[in-house]
């Protein structure tokens, strides 16, 4: 019996798919290299942008003839296209789908497969034990001993409800996971060879806000920091309203917590920010960036920006452009606004910025950020940085600095999982080249893999 998982969207979906794979393997399934070879096909979907939703529909349409040819194949639609309340329209449009699963919830699929296999199995217990809760098997077999970095969801859903965002409607209200379960999952990942974890939440800074007995994100980071064998900790995504000095000081104080912050601004004009219901002004965001840089020396900062939001004038876009030029952040994730059915913006704000104008504004910001990132990265040339190596890509090994810069080096050794000093020899806006300045341990990665396979 084989399974195939297709994943689209955010890091949360990547983490969910890993746990679905681990749960399926517990039931006796093995991974397939293609959907055509599988007995179970899982489509883990995203709808945060129209392009992601279109990809999901394209995948479903592509599976229609396969399901007709092999009706015994189980097709599972999962994620935000289903949502926490279900999606009757999609179910009617694609009647060949066997199982519909909400985001981050393997139980409908496990229940369906258990019945087909005739297993006397407690589905709730299985879902908790092997997929989401105590984290005994957080990775599928083929990734154990090979995955250097992994994601751990710590907050599901969101209760903030920006006017453009579909996440609260599809993933439900904010729910923090118990710290004991997060710690257990982190230990299990380390035991399987992982050296770096990234904590995930739609607003990760709000971890524990819904559960008074839980620690804050700062407290959780301090507990994770004590895990032996865990070398690096990251978290995303932050929100300007919830990033506290306590959290910034924790990042600065704890060596394992990497000096990289992702905090979206979305727009640089106060009227646009108000229509987005972000809850801060451009000036408040400026002051936040200043606080971050003051409290965490050498920090790198990434942001998100949406262009073409309803009503955005040329002057308002220019203020966004000017803010990005002024702040000179390390990375900017750019998106063109697309209406999401059910959101406040889609219901009440006409999508009045033409598509060609959205593209023009997008490309202006893209060119600006490319220049800024290139200039920032040029400052690394000739300097030595610590790089955690993840995998070989063609002839080179790929890794990341503490500030999340992508670095490639050439080496005859197996560098997977090693943290080594690298002197940067060339830098572009999106990646850098370097030379290892300390002899790599040729047996290190092999030993790790053999221990955790």
Is 10 annotated as belonging to a binding site? yes
Mean pLDDT score of the chain = 92
- 33 and 83 assigned to the same domain: yes
Which residues, given as ranges, of the chain have pLDDT below 50? 127-135, 442-453
- Taking only the tens place, the pLDDT of each residue in 236-286 is 999 999 999 999 999 999 999 999 999 999 999 999 999 999 999 999 999
CA distance 229 to 148: 12
CA distance 306 to 319: 13
Is 162 annotated as belonging to a binding site? yes
- 78 and 126 assigned to the same domain: yes
pLDDT at residue number 240:
98
CA distance 374 to 349: 37
- 185 and 226 assigned to the same domain: yes
Is 46 annotated as belonging to a binding site? yes
pLDDT at residue number 142:
86
- 124 and 230 assigned to the same domain: no
Boundary of a domain, candidates 315, 345, 378 = 378
CATH of the domain at 346: 3.80.30.20
CA distance 263 to 268: 13
| Contacts with 287 (C-beta within 8 Å, 6 or more apart), sequence order | none
Query: DSSP assignment, residue 267?
Result: -
Boundary of a domain, candidates 78, 112, 130 = 130
- Identify the H or E element spanning 197: strand 196-200
Pairing of strands 396-401, 384-393: antiparallel
Is 191 annotated as belonging to a binding site? no
Q: Could you tell me the residue range of the domain that residue 418 belongs to?
A: 384-452
Residue 416: phi and psi, rounded to 5, are: -55, 125
Residues 77/101, Cβ–Cβ less than 8 Å? yes
CATH of the domain at 395: 2.40.50.140
- 369 and 279 assigned to the same domain: yes
CA distances 380 to 283, 297, 425, Å, are 30, 15, 8
- Phi-psi domain of 118 (left: phi exceeds 0; alpha: psi -120 through 50; beta: other): left
CATH of the domain at 31: 3.40.50.12160
Residues 144/325, Cβ–Cβ less than 8 Å? no
pLDDT at residue number 119:
60
Boundary of a domain, candidates 130, 157, 186 = 130
pLDDT at residue number 116:
82
**Quick one: tokens of 66?**
């396969």
- C-alpha closest to that of 97 among 105, 87, 107, 84: 87
- 358 and 407 assigned to the same domain: no
CB atoms within 10 A of CB 56: 23
- 296 and 426 assigned to the same domain: no
- 448 and 347 assigned to the same domain: no
- 167 and 235 assigned to the same domain: yes
- 229 and 97 assigned to the same domain: no
pLDDT at residue number 122:
53
CB atoms within 10 A of CB 378: 15
Query: DSSP assignment, residue 239?
Result: -
CA distances 356 to 171, 339, 352, 361, 363, Å, are 31, 16, 12, 9, 11
- 126 and 138 assigned to the same domain: no
H-type helices in 142-213, by residue range? Answer: 167-171, 179-191
What torsion, rounded to 10 degrees, do the Cα atoms 179, 181, 184, 189 define? -110
- 208 and 299 assigned to the same domain: yes
The number of distinct structural domains making up the chain is 3
């Amino acid at each position: 019996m084989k399974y195939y998982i297709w994943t689209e969207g955010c890091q949360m979906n990547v983490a969910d798919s890993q746990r679905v794979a681990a749960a399926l393997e517990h039931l006796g399934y093995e991974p397939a290299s293609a959907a055509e070879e599988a007995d179970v096909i899982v489509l883990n979907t995203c709808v945060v942008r129209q392009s992601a939703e279109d990809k999901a529909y394209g995948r479903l349409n592509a599976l229609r003839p396969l399901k007709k040819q092999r009706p015994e194949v189980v097709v599972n639609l999962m994620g935000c296209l289903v949502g926490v309340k279900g999606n009757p329209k999609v179910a009617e449009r694609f009647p060949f789908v066997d199982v519909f699963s909400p985001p981050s919830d393997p139980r409908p699929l496990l229940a369906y497969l258990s019945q087909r296999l005739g297993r006397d199995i407690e589905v709730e217990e299985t879902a908790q034990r092997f997929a989401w809760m105590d984290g005994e098997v957080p990775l599928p077999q083929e990734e154990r001993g090979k995955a250097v970095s992994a994601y751990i969801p710590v907050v599901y859903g969101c209760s903030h409800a920006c006017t453009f965002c579909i996440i609260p409607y599809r993933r439900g209200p904010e729910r923090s996971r118990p710290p004991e379960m997060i710690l257990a999952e982190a230990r299990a990942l380390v035991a399987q060879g992982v050296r770096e974890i990234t904590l995930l939440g739609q607003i990760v800074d709000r971890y524990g806000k819904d559960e008074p007995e839980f620690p804050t994100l700062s407290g959780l980071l301090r507990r994770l920091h004590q895990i032996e064998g865990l070398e690096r900790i990251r978290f995303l995504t932050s929100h300007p309203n919830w990033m506290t000095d306590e959290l910034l000081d924790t990042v600065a104080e704890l060596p394992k917590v990497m000096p990289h912050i992702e905090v979206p601004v979305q727009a640089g004009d106060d009227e646009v920010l108000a229509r987005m219901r972000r809850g801060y002004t451009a000036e408040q965001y400026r002051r936040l960036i200043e606080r971050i840089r003051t409290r965490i020396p050498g920090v790198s900062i990434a942001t998100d920006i949406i262009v073409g939001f309803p009503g955005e004038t040329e002057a308002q876009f220019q203020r966004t452009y000017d803010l990005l030029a002024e702040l000179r952040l390390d990375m900017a994730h750019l998106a063109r606004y697309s209406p999401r059915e059910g959101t406040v913006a889609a219901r009440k704000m006409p999508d009045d910025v033409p598509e060609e104008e959205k593209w023009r504004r997008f490309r202006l910001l893209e060119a600006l950020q490319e220049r800024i990132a290139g200039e920032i990265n040029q400052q690394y040339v000739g300097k030595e940085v610590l790089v955690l190596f993840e995998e070989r890509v063609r002839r080179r090994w790929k890794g990341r600095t503490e500030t999340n810069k992508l670095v490639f080096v050439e080496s005859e050794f197996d560098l997977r999982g090693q943290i080594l000093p690298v002197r940067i020899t060339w830098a572009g806006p999106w990646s850098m080249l370097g030379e290892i300045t300390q002899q790599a341990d040729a047996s290190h990665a092999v030993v790790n893999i053999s221990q955790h396979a």
